[in-house]
Amino acid sequence: MSGAHAFASVLYGRVFVTLPVPSTTTDLSDQIIIVTGSNTGLGFESTRHLSRLGVGKIIMAVRTLAKGEAAKKEILKTTGKPDSTIEVWPIDMDSHDSVKAFSEQASQLPRLDGVLANAGIMTSEFALSENSEKTLNVNVINTFLLFFLLLPIMRRSERQTGYACRFVIPNSALHYIAPLAELDAPVIFDRLNDPKRAIMSGRYPLSKLLVLYATREIAERTRSSNKGNFIINAPNPSWCKSDLGREMESSGYKMVEKIMARSTEEGSRTLVHGLLTDETSNGHYLSNCHVQVPAKHVTNQWAQKVQKKFFGELLGKLEAIAPEVTSNL
């Protein structure tokens, strides 16, 4: 049933929904927004929208600077904005040290109004990276390492400007079909990092489920905080034509993709919406530019227990990587 719901979600969005082109009445000329993985795919198209909307400075965070500079040049050519409105910074989301270095540089910014943590991977091959399975390291661990490292400037910026920084992590309807048996373990990360037991065919969906758990837990724990507000949400761009699923490419896949998948530009509209939307999105899964209730294994009693258990383990991992990084939560 979960699989059917995931498929129906994609089909409904493709056939019956016309996503709004991003627009805003807010003056963005003083804002600073970071977009990771912005030299290609959804990140590239999201950056192009943000440039068109007049964001004062966009930080294109990319693994390869030359590719980032080429993407910047193409974006500015289409939007006509000044060269000074986009900067290209290096980040490798598969490296704790790279995320730390990037965050240290970002902490010197005068303000921070948005982060689109777009960089992610999908693979069916098991590989350890920094003592964690690679999908988990990129999509979950280092994504939330980036969040916690940027949290002080996010909160400082809100206190100074009155505008709550948005931290946006793309999600997927595939979270409906995540292999839940992998979460039934004394130590969840140990089970997921076991090459003999890892269900890699479902690892990407599972990573998106774990992102939802962490997003919801962060929003819940900080709802009444007086440390400075921020908004964290997880929009689903749905199935889009991109390089993300290149390992799965075949003639059949390409045929279905042509019929079912949104263009990359269309999908990017949902991510930009996540950056521009208001506090009602905080802690939520978004679909078709609206708050949507996620799968039952995100919201039921079983999920609440797993969510807290997983989040506790995640905090422990992040503390081992960067001591006291989670103390600002």
Output the six-digit token pair for 145.
Answer: 């390492």
Confidence check: pLDDT of 16 > 70: no
Give the least confident one: 39-43, 201-205, 219-223, 297-301.
219-223
Query: Confidence class of residue 262 from pLDDT cuts 50, 70 and 90?
Result: confident
Tens-digit pLDDT profile for residues 112-129? 999 999 999 999 999 999
Q: Reply yes or no on whether the pLDDT at 12 is more than 90.
A: no
Element holding 114 (H helix, E strand): strand 114-116
**pTM of the model as a whole:** 0.93
**DSSP letter string, 244-264:** TTGGG--HHHHHHHHHHPBPH
- Across the range 93-106, mean pLDDT stands at 98
For residue 170, is pLDDT > 90?
A: yes
Classify the C-alpha dihedral 90-92-100-85 as positive or negative.
positive
CA distances from 31 to 22, 42, 49, 116 (A): 16, 21, 14, 14
pLDDT tens sequence across 218-237? 999 998 666 669 999 999 99
The confidence score (pLDDT) of residue 241 equals 74
For residues 85 and 51, the answer to whether their CB atoms sit within 8 Å is: yes
Active-site residues: which are they?
Answer: 204, 208
pLDDT, mean over the chain: 92
Query: Rounded to 5 degrees, what are φ and ψ at 210?
Result: -65, -35
Distance CA 202, CA 219 (A): 26
Task: Flag whether pLDDT at 93 surpasses 70.
Answer: yes
Residue 243 is predicted with a pLDDT of 66
Contact 228, 155 (CB under 8 A): yes
How far is 218 from 41, CA to CA, in rounded Å?
28
Burial letters for 149-173: b for 16+ Cβ neighbours within 10 Å, e otherwise? bbbbbbbbbbeeeebbbbbbbbbbb
Taking the C-alpha atoms of 194, 196, 197 and 201 in order, what is their torsion angle to the nearest 10 degrees? 100
Query: Among 103, 117, 87, which Cα is nearest to 234's?
Result: 117
* Mean pLDDT value across residues 46-66: 98
Helical H runs in the chain? 2-16, 41-52, 65-79, 96-106, 134-136, 142-161, 188-192, 203-221, 251-260, 264-276, 296-299, 301-321
Return d(Cα 63, Cα 61) in angstroms, integer. Answer: 7
DSSP state of 223: T
Spell out a b/e string for 71-94, using b for 16 or more CB atoms within 10 Å of the CB, else e.
bbeebbeebebeeebbebbebbbb
Class of domain 2-321: alpha beta
Cα gap 7→4, rounded to integer Å? 5
Question: Rounded to a whole number, what is the largest CA-CA distance in the chain?
Answer: 55
DSSP string, 144-180: HHHHHHHHHHHHHHHHHHS-PEEEE----GGGGG--G
State the amino acid at position 273 in one-letter form: H
Q: How far apart are CA 163 and CA 230, in angstroms?
A: 8
DSSP single-letter state for residue 329:
-
Q: Degrees (nearest 5) of the Cα angle 154, 157, 162? A: 115
